[in-house]
Amino acid sequence: MTNSTTSHKSEKRIGLVAGWGRFPIQVAIALKTAGYQVYCCGIYGHADPELENICDEFEWFGMARMGSQVRFLKRCGVHSATMAGKIFKTLLFQKFHLIKHLPDWECMKYFYPVYFTKKKDRRDDTLLTIVTELYASNGIQFSPATDFAPELLVKRGTLTRKSPSQAQLLDIKFAWEMAKEMGRLDIGQSIAVKGRAVLAVEAVEGTDECIRRAGQLCSAGGFTVVKVAKPQQDMRFDVPTVGVGTIQTMKDAGASVLAVEASKTIVLDQSELVAYANQVGISVVALESDCAEKLDQAA
């Protein structure tokens, strides 16, 4: 077998590190459709078992067993990988979390400045950059999952029949600027507002819990949720994602509008999301990154 043939076969092998939600499933399907052999590291307590039926090879791993993940992918001849799906960061703040997750030596070595010397913080970008460096040092480079499933990135426009009102557009502009600043500080991606007053800001708990908290604080309902990419967004990880579950949470909490960033937000099962949003009367709009300036001009 020639070197060029070996290289070609290697290029069609890809690793998938799968967290929670439907995003990893849709990425795996897109990869298989494109002719890739998919080797999946399913994170315990997160990944959907359905991935076992889609991928060429699948193994379960604890989220801190990164050395084991790397060895599995190297055995499979993988040099490129992608990550998809949510990892519940709240698990890192449980009692005895290091014992529960049993980090292996490779993980301990790279995360030593985070958990032992405390020289590095535990913001999302910090942790996920360390993960990509760990893999890269073992000859596996990460690429954005959206490179393989670009159709999941939402296009600009109003997705639902119902458009935001003028007052809601003012709330979107107000929230957008704050959400971008939150992203710059790597705090969170989502914010809930009403009447240009902040109800809730996403941090470690995630978007759904942020929405629920806003609903508890605003029993009258009718608030707006804005979710944007960070100004420094690395599309290899932590890409803003919404799905039908997001709209269900909004409906239960009393929210009226969802605004997301076009071309930088993943909308899962978009047709189902739009149909359900129309059914429950929630407006969904995708705006460009400069929407605050454009809304100023429109006013």
What are the tens digits of pLDDT across the range 234-260?
A: 999 889 999 999 999 999 999 999 999
Residue 231 burial by Cβ neighbours in a 10 Å radius (0-12, 13-18, 19+): exposed
Residue 95's pLDDT is 65
Lowest mean pLDDT among 1-5, 85-89, 170-174: 1-5
The top-scoring range by mean pLDDT among 68-77, 81-90, 98-107, 113-122 is 68-77
> Does the pLDDT value for residue 176 go beyond 60?
yes
> To the nearest whole percent, how much of the chain has pLDDT over 70?
89
| Residue 61 confidence class, pLDDT cut points 50, 70, 90 | very high
The domain spans of the chain are 6-147, 153-298
Residue 101's pLDDT is 59
Q: H-helix or E-strand containing 279?
A: helix 270-280
The third-level CATH classification (topology) of the domain covering 6-147 is Rossmann fold (3.40.50)
Q: Which residue has the higher pLDDT, 11 or 282?
A: 282
Sheet with 80-84, strands from edge to edge, namely 57-61, 37-43, 13-18, 80-84, 141-142
What are the tens digits of pLDDT across the range 178-225?
A: 999 999 999 999 999 999 999 999 998 999 999 999 999 999 999 999
List C-alpha distances in Å: 9 to 4, 5, 75: 9, 6, 14
Model pTM?
0.85
Characterize 165-204 residue by residue with b for buried, 16 or more Cβ atoms within 10 angstroms of its Cβ, and e for exposed: eeebbbbbbbbbbbbbebbeeebbbbbbbbeeeebbbbee
Q: Does domain 153-298 have CATH number 1.10.10.10?
A: no
Query: Could you tell me if 46 and 85 are in contact, meaning their C-beta atoms sit under 8 angstroms apart?
Result: yes
Closest by Cα among 73, 189, 75, 181 to 135: 73
| Residue 108 confidence class, pLDDT cut points 50, 70, 90 | confident
What are the tens digits of pLDDT across the range 114-129?
A: 877 888 888 888 988 9
Chain centroid to CA 1: 40
Compute φ and ψ for 5, nearest 5 degrees: -65, -45
